[in-house]
Structure 1
Amino acid sequence: MSIYTALRAGVSGLTANSSALAVISDNIANVNTVGYKRSGVDFSALVNAQNSNTTYNAGGVLPLTRQQISLQGSLEQSRSATDLAISGDGFFIVSPNNQQLSNGGSVLFTRAGSFTIDADGYMVNAQGLFLQGWPVASDGSVTTSPTSLSAIEAVNISGVGGLAEPTANVGINANLNSDQTPHTGAYVAGDLADGTVSPHFESSLEVFDSLGAPRTIAFGFLKTGPNTWQVESYARPNTNITGGAGTGGLLATGTLNFNTDGTVASATGTIGATFNIPWAAATGASTQAINLDLNTGMTQFAKSFGVTSVTADGVPPGDLVGLVLEGDGMLTAQFSNGRARALYQIPLATFLNPNGLAADQGGAFRTTLQSGLYNINSSNAGGAGRIVSGALEASNVDLAAEFTNLITTQRAYSAASRIITTADEMLEELLMIKR
């Protein structure tokens, strides 16, 4: 009977609009939730088979919930460098635990990038999900795969200690006075180091050993003829190197020859090449190779001795002071000594149909047959968006649209309830016939 189908249609209208109200309520409640993706409800008519042209069987309505995951929210500036947002397509790869994804870990995808460092050194977002990344090897290489999770691990910085670099290259820019009277006495290699002969000019500089400790080495210059200088390098104090006390700390010797225009003609001997510093066992440092450049900045002009500049690489130990994420997704550790080291590259996962993903815990999503498989790429590559550090993606909820939908849903619900009351009155009239 058509009146009964009208009742059922009214009930389906109440159910459908109740679902719509629940969706709208969720959207409004999450208007300030980072990375939240709004949902909507589409109504689909249910059609019953019609047995005759003179009567009609109402079918009602079916609510179909859809997610607007592909619609990006606005990016808002944050004061934390570990807050991350994605400008464009893609999702952060996360997991509810810190296990290897290819070994029992559960993989999820999210746009909620409010990450912080927890007590164990892991990067987790406000929902407790662990950020995943490709680890960077010591040589700077990254093993990536567009489909495999075996190369991905939970980002952890607890093992990042102080960074120190030993000195490997030294350069001296100085002038040797061409008016200096040449040394006329006896000279053998090592005389400048042990003090047997006083150098005409001496300069010292600081190098860092393999442990990052500062050590002093000196360079003595002795003019022995026109355009010819004997050069020695020695450690100070001489006890810092193995056997240094007996040799005056001698490290390298050689001859520096100048052209008639005051430029360097040649540097011969061990002073003109790489030499080793055999640090004493008491220092705890390993033998260190030093490449000395005397060809670039040395001059011999008729003016006083002087050092223009001394260059030496290597840095003392530094502590971790911060993390920086570059546009290519490279997570870099910054140290107090000015050095930096790449730790992880943060990948992004993209889908052919992101709106087909299923919602999961903590504002994350999981794959479904409708979404298709993920494709993993580095930031700003392969269709993936660009990771922005110090920013968060806001909810894509439009309050004006939601309140408008709230009003229309309320009116539709009231209208569906009127269908039931009207059908009830008609049934009452039908029952009155028997009376």
Structure 2
Amino acid sequence: MRTPRYAQKRSISINIFAAPGGTRAAMELGLMSIYTALRAGVSGLTANSSALAVISDNIANVNTVGYKRGGVDFSALVNAQNSNTTYNAGGVLPLTRQQISLQGSLEQSRSPTDLAISGDGFFIVSTNNQQLSNGGSVLFTRAGSFTIDAAGYMVNAQGLFLQGWPVAADGSVTSSPTSLSAIEPVNISGVGGLAEPTANVGLNANLNSAQADYANAQGVYDVGDMATGTITPHFESSLEIYDSLGAARTVAFGFLKTGPNTWRVEAYARPNSNITGGSGTGGLLAAGIVNFNTDGTVASVQPHGTASTAQDIDSQFTVNWATSTGAAAQGVTLDLSTGMTQFANSFGVTSVTADGVPPGDLVGLVLEGDGMLTAQFSNGRARALYQIPLATFLNPNGLKADQGGAFRTTLESGLYNINSSNAGGAGRIVSGALEASNVDLATEFTSLITTQRAYSAASRIITTADQMLEELLMIKR
């Protein structure tokens, strides 16, 4: 019957110590070398198992936005050698790492809130919607598949909240390259296009030079007669302006030829009840005189020059809306000197220009190359809401992987530096694009084959060392 192995080990141990000095020492060293070979084989299995796990992760995330390929570096473990005739195997130590600094390709997306970085920067994100200086947890990511959640926050597919510098009403941005206190979660809830009252109006029209001068057929002209309808103007045109609440209000312009190359002009509100005191003055806003040169161009625009208290049309005049409208008073400047003509053609308006807009709804978001997140409104206006900063690191490969494809700072990565897009080497933010994984499937499949072969070879080390131990145990049998 075969002797159990534990009994054989005990027997060989006794026989080794019973052997002559030189033979015993040689057998001890040989046994030690075989045991270190076994440990080296086990370390090879462990290292290649880790490599297989990393390769599996890479292949599984080949389509993950912003994923950074992992790798395993093998480092040899060296044992102290006590003899020149024997060798103590140390084995191998696996060191895992991620190729964070290696950028993936940028792929076009249909969503304008999908963002990619062409450069070395990282989006600053947080796991919650709290300000980073008030309990927020700062992370950094290249995964820019952002959407707007139900609360108006911009979050990526992994649920991380995008951070940005808010833009003040005057367009200024308070930024800091190291402080997180100026950064807050990007939120567009409640953003709407504000109404803008009309402040400037331009009228481009032709007044017929063949028109006969007004001959007092309806009475002597006084300022306000065209507004009240006492005198019918030779030419009248209307346009819409916007009050402070964004409501469209009609203003009419009446022209009356009172002499060669001389025209009286009045501006009046319609209906006249829209302005304070309008019912008594016909809604008169301002009046003046337009003089033309002999070539049909405007020579001058003058005040009305009468005892009337009406405002002069050659300078800014104030529109006092009726209390019932709820709108604030606004100043309007009328330009009659640029586009007005007096030719022997029929009356007609070439064009009318007026600023001011009604209130609008948010219809889209656009990210400019400088990182400005701009809201577009249905009234044609746009307003910058946030500037998206980017963080850079001296050693991005030293970052530690965290949830959702994000990273945390470590001692190896160094401190972050915050810059705007296209500044400080951070790179450029590209809207409507996503950064693909930097995994190369051909490389991964090749590594998969070599790792499998290396694992098999390491297992052969263990099998061979076991057979040698078996032979050694059989020496004194």
TM-score (norm 1): 0.98
Match of residue 267 from structure 2? 233
User: CA-to-partner distance for each residue in 1:389-410, whole Å, 9 max, x for gaps?
Assistant: 1111111111111111011111
Is residue 2:385 matched to residue 1:385?
A: no
Amino acid at match of 1:405: S
SS at match of 2:463: helix
Q: Which residue of 2 aligns with 1:43?
A: 74
For the Cα contact (< 8 Å) 1:193–1:249, is it kept in 2?
yes
AA partner of residue 215 (structure 1): R
Matches within 5 A, 1:323-338: 323-338=365-380
Equivalent of 2:326 in 284, 289, 299: 284
2:209 to 168, 174, 178: 178
Instruction: Give, as a single letter, the amino acid of the residue that structure 2 aligns with 1:217.
Output: V
Give 1:260 shift.
2.1
Q: Which runs of 5+ in 1 are unaligned?
A: none
- State the alpha-carbon separation in 2 of the partners of residues 160 and 399 from structure 1: 44
* 1:97-136 C-alpha deviation (Å, 9 max, x unpaired): 1111112211111000110100000000000000011111
2-side partners of 1:375 and 1:228: how far apart?
68
Q: How far is 1:433 from its partner?
A: 2.3
Q: What SS does structure 2 have at the residue aligned with 1:86? A: strand
For residues 329-355 of structure 1, the C-alpha deviation after alignment (integer angstroms, 9 at most, x for no partner) is: 111111122221111111111111111
The answer on 1:243 being equivalent to 2:277 is yes
Equivalents in 2 of 1:217, 1:322: separation in Å? 33
Q: What one-letter code is carried by the residue in structure 2 that aligns with 1:106?
A: S
Unmatched runs of 5 consecutive residues or more in structure 2: 1-31, 304-311
Distance in 1 (CA, whole Å) between partners of 2:142 and 2:194 is: 33
Which one of the candidate residues 345, 351, 354 is aligned to 1:312? 354
How far apart, in 2, do the equivalents of 1:147 and 1:382 lie? 13
Q: Percent identity?
A: 87
Task: Choose the corresponding residue for 1:57, options 80, 88, 106.
Answer: 88
Secondary structure at the residue paired with 2:176?
Answer: coil
Partner deviation per Cα, 1:24-74 (whole Å, 9 max, x = no partner): 111111111110000101101011111121221111111111210111111
Mapped partners of 2:127, 2:333: distance in 1: 50
Residue 361 in structure 1 maps to residue 400 in structure 2: no
Give 1:93 deviation, angstroms: 0.7
Alignment match, 1:214:
248
Q: Distance in 2 between matches of 1:394 and 1:194?
A: 70
Partner residue in 1 for 2:234: 200
The DSSP-based 3-state class of the residue aligned with 1:272 is coil
Q: Structure 1 CA distance, aligned partners of 2:341 and 2:83? A: 110
Instruction: Give the Cα separation in 1 of the matches to 2:298 and 2:106.
Output: 58
Contact 2:192 / 2:377 at 8 angstroms: preserved in 1? no
Q: Residues 146-161 of structure 1: matches in 2 within 5 Å?
A: 146-161=177-192
Runs (4+) of structure 1 exceeding 6 A deviation are none
Higher strand share: 1
Q: Which residue of 105, 126, 129 corresponds with 1:74?
A: 105
> Using the alignment, how far apart are the partners of 2:195 and 2:470 within structure 1?
90
Distance 1:372 1:162 in 2: 42
Once the two structures are superposed, what CA deviation does each residue of 1:193-228 show, in whole Å capped at 9, x if it has no partner?
111211111111011111111110001111122222
Contact 2:101 2:396 in 1 (8 A): yes
2:471 aligned with 1:432, yes or no?
Answer: no
Q: Measure how far apart 1:303 and its partner are.
A: 2.0
1:296 is displaced (CA, Å) by: 0.3
Q: Can you list the C-alpha shifts for 1:121-173, whole angstroms capped at 9, x where unaligned? A: 00000000000111111111111211111111100000202432221110000
Match of 1:140 among 171, 176, 191: 171
Confirm or deny that 1:275 pairs with 2:314: no
CA contact (8 A) 1:176 1:301 kept: yes
8 A contact 2:193–2:379 mirrored in 1: no
Q: Contact 1:230 / 1:254 at 8 angstroms: preserved in 2?
A: yes
- Are 1:163 and 1:335, in contact at CA under 8 Å, matched by a contact in 2? no
Matched-pair contact (CA < 8 Å) for 2:193–2:381: no
C-alpha distance in structure 2 between counterparts of 1:152 and 1:268, whole Å: 54
Q: How far off its partner does 1:302 sit?
A: 2.1
**What are the superposed Cα offsets for residues 221-265 of structure 1, whole Å, 9 maximum, x if unpaired?**
111222221111000000001111011101011111122222112
User: Which residue is 1:5 aligned to?
Assistant: 36
Structure 2 residue 114 is the aligned partner of structure 1 residue 83: yes
1:378 Cα offset (Å): 1.3
Structure 1, residues 253-304: CA drift from partner, whole Å, max 9, x if none?
1111122222112112221111111111111111111111011001112222
The 2-side partners of 1:92 and 1:76 are apart by 17
1:264 aligns with 2:306: no
Determine whether 1:34 maps to 2:68: no
Q: What pairs up with 1:415-430 in 2 under 5 angstroms? A: 415-430=457-472
- Computing the radius of gyration from Cα coordinates, the structure with the larger value is 2
Q: How many residues align?
A: 435
Q: CA RMSD in A?
A: 1.1
Q: For 1:120 and 1:34, how far apart are their aligned partners in 2?
A: 24
Separation (CA, whole Å) in 1 of partners of 2:476 and 2:318:
117
- What is the letter of the counterpart of residue 288 of structure 2? G
Deviation at 1:427, TM superposition (A): 1.2
The aligned amino acid for 1:305 is F
Looking at structure 2, the residues matched to 149 and 225 of structure 1 have their Cα atoms a distance apart, in angstroms, of: 70
Q: Does 1:349 align with 2:383?
A: no
| Alignment of 1:19 onto 2:50 | yes
Alpha-carbon separation, structure 2, partners of 1:257 and 1:198: 20
Letter in structure 2 aligned against 1:16: A
Pick the aligned partner of 2:130 from 99, 107, 111. Answer: 99
Q: Which moved more, 1:259-268 or 1:200-209?
A: 259-268
